[in-house]
Amino acid sequence: MRGQLQNSRLHACGRLVLALASIAFALLPAMADAGAWGSGAFENDDAADLLAEIASSQGSTLIQHAFDEVHSSDGYIDEPVCSAAIAAATLIASAGGAKVAGLPPEAAKWLRETSFHPTGTLIADATKAVRTCSDPKRSELSQLWTEGKDSAAWKREIKTLLEQLAAIQKGAPKN
């Protein structure tokens, strides 16, 4: 009798563990979306962090640094690096005169206050970084979007950004 009672309790504990595991598994997608995450250039925590740093600075050093991080990588590039580079490239596009949808107010304020104008070299660096970050073989960010449900929206954002960069490249000073 005692053995049956222990087996019964063990069975009940097993069911409870299964139930809790099922609940936790069901909550995983909601937990993964706890941070900011969207197809726009500034709809993620890493871009927001970069923007906060840029907004408190007067120069474009942080923008160049975002591209240098991508260019200096020989292998697979982590998501935060590409998120920052795409946000920086979007700032370049806006500074060059492109109409950027979803540009945060602090970015617009920084661009106004600094009168920042990108050089042809900086635009080329931005374009190269965006192309690299949109390659799922090189970029964790691209791979995540390629596997995600909003892949088409992200690809449209990247295509638009590359078109904007190409358009402003034509009228930019070389250095």
Judge if 98 and 19 occupy the same domain.
Answer: no
Does 104 lie in the same domain as 57?
Answer: yes
17 lies in the same domain as 81: no
Q: Residue 174 falls within a domain, yes or no?
A: no
Question: Of the given ranges (28-32, 93-97, 116-120, 126-130), which has the lowest mean pLDDT?
Answer: 28-32
Q: What is the per-residue pLDDT across 34-52, written as a single tens digit (0 to 9) for each?
A: 344 666 666 667 677 777 7
Q: Is residue 175 part of a domain?
A: no
Q: Indicate whether this model's pTM tops 0.75.
A: no
75 and 151, same domain (yes or no)? yes
- Among residues 85, 71, 169, 69, the alpha carbon closest in space to that of 119 is found at 169
CA 88 to chain centre: 10
**39 part of a folded domain:** yes
Residues 144 and 121 in one domain: yes
Q: Are residues 54 and 19 in the same domain?
A: no
**DSSP state at residue 135:** -
Quote the CA–CA distance of 128 and 116 in Å, as a whole number. 20
Instruction: Mark whether 70 and 88 lie in a shared domain.
Output: yes
Claim to verify: residue 86 and residue 97 sit in the same structural domain:
yes
Q: How confident is the model at residue 123 (pLDDT cuts 50, 70, 90)?
A: very high
The residue among 123, 124, 122, 96 whose CA lies nearest residue 111 is 96
- Looking at the domain assignment, is residue 140 inside a domain? yes
Number of domains forming the structure of the chain: 2
The reply to whether 92 and 148 lie within a common domain is: yes
Helices (H) and strands (E) in the chain, counts: 8, 0
- In this prediction, residue 175 carries a pLDDT of 53
> Are 129 and 158 part of one and the same domain?
yes
Do residues 107 and 154 share a domain? yes
| Token couple for 68 | 């240098």
Query: In whole angstroms, how far apart are CA 139 and each of 35, 45, 69, 145?
Result: 20, 17, 12, 10
Place of tokens 């069901």: 26
Residue 73 belongs to what domain range? 35-169
Asked whether residue 80 falls in the same domain as residue 133, the answer is yes
